[in-house]
């Protein structure tokens, strides 16, 4: 009688964030790029929640990554990206529903790290991502189309980006500071944005490239899952395909 086969547990990279994360699996998206690089090594899981801020993220995170899960539940998490701030940094008087005060935003970042740690994801596997810069002329057009005035300022987004960088340092997490990198040397950062806030194709490429630089070391040791087809024993494929990995 054949013994029960051991299920292969694929490691995971979890992308946790707002719409910029949710949209990252679209054609040429940064999440899709990362997933393609990691095919046959781990699952890249999109947990982007359009419109969410860090306050709501902190509340729902335990429903997404539970401390009750174990390695046996296939929850071998190689890395988690935490990408919030574009909504938190909304101006309170123009967009009170999504706005989160700067001090609370910083504290929420720290609490998210603690929640991840309680679920077995240590801080060295966490990558904070700051919001990208905001191109006000383009975003103002979007706001007007929706019948509202400009509800974000790039200078304010920069304060939240700085708070994100500081929180990462205090928590022992890595950080990708998009707000600073996309404006480095006075470059025209509007090319990285599709509507002044969300990423363009070039912006997605920018995020994928820089994020991979931080992710690569965390996934470098992950094995290729199941043998390369050319290595399968043709006469006895079971001996190749049913062996423990």
Domain residue spans of the chain: 12-241
For residue 51, name the pLDDT band (cuts at 50, 70, 90): very high
- In this structure, what DSSP letter does residue 199 have? B
- In this structure, what DSSP letter does residue 221 have? T
CA distance 142 to 136: 10
* Confidence (pTM): 0.94
Beta-carbon contacts of 243 under 8 Å, excluding residues fewer than 6 positions away, are: none
| Pair of tokens at residue 8 | 């292969």
For residue 76, name the pLDDT band (cuts at 50, 70, 90): confident
What percentage of the chain exceeds 70 in pLDDT?
A: 94
- CATH topology for the 12-241 domain: Rossmann fold (3.40.50)
Q: Are 90 and 59 in contact (CB under 8 A)?
A: no
DSSP strand pairing (43-48 vs 12-17): parallel
Tell whether the model's pLDDT for residue 133 goes beyond 90. yes
Residue 154's CB is within 10 A of a number of other CB atoms, namely 19
CA distance 211 to 199: 14
Q: What is the pLDDT of residue 5?
A: 77
Least confident among 20-34, 169-183, 189-203, 213-227:
213-227
Query: Is 19 a catalytic site residue?
Result: yes
- 129-158 mean pLDDT: 97
CA distance 13 to 134: 27
Tell whether the model's pLDDT for residue 71 goes beyond 60. no
CA distance 132 to 124: 23
Residue 165: enclosing H or E segment and its boundaries?
A: helix 154-171
Tell whether the model's pLDDT for residue 39 goes beyond 80. yes
pLDDT in tens, 147-163: 999 999 999 999 999 99
- 132-136 mean pLDDT: 98
Q: What is the pLDDT of residue 66?
A: 72
Q: What is the pLDDT of residue 67?
A: 64
Tell whether the model's pLDDT for residue 132 goes beyond 90. yes
Name the catalytic one among 19, 24, 89, 106: 19
What percentage of the chain exceeds 90 in pLDDT?
A: 89
CA distance 82 to 16: 5
Cα distances (Å, whole numbers) of residue 31 to 20, 59, 178, 207? 10, 23, 15, 9
Name the catalytic one among 33, 106, 135, 198: 198
| Pair of tokens at residue 235 | 């006469």
Name the catalytic one among 155, 195, 233, 236: 195
CA-nearest of 211, 245, 242 to 41 is: 245
Q: What is the pLDDT of residue 74?
A: 43
């Amino acid at each position: 009688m054949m013994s029960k086969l051991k299920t292969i547990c694929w490691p995971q990279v979890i992308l946790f964030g707002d719409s910029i994360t949710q949209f990252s699996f679209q054609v040429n998206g940064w999440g899709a790029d990362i997933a393609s690089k990691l095919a046959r090594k781990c699952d890249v899981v999109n947990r982007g929640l359009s419109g969410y801020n860090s306050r709501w993220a902190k509340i729902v995170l335990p429903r997404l990554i539970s401390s009750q899960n174990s390695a046996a539940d296939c929850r071998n998490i190689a890395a988690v990206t935490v990408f919030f701030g574009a909504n938190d940094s909304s101006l309170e008087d123009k967009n009170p529903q999504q706005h989160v005060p700067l001090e609370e935003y910083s504290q929420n970042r720290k609490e998210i790290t603690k929640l991840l740690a309680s679920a077995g994801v240590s801080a060295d596997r966490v990558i904070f991502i700051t919001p990208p810069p905001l191109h006000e002329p383009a975003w103002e057009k979007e706001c007007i189309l929706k019948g509202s005035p400009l509800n974000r300022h790039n200078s304010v987004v920069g304060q939240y980006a700085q708070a994100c960088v500081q929180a990462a340092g205090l928590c022992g997490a890595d950080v990708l500071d998009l707000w600073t990198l996309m404006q480095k040397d006075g470059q025209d950062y509007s090319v990285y944005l599709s509507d002044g806030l969300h990423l363009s194709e070039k912006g997605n490429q920018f995020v994928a490239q820089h994020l991979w630089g931080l992710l690569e070391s965390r996934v470098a040791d992950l094995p290729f899952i199941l043998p390369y087809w050319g290595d399968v024993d043709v006469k006895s494929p079971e001996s190749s395909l049913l062996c423990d990995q």
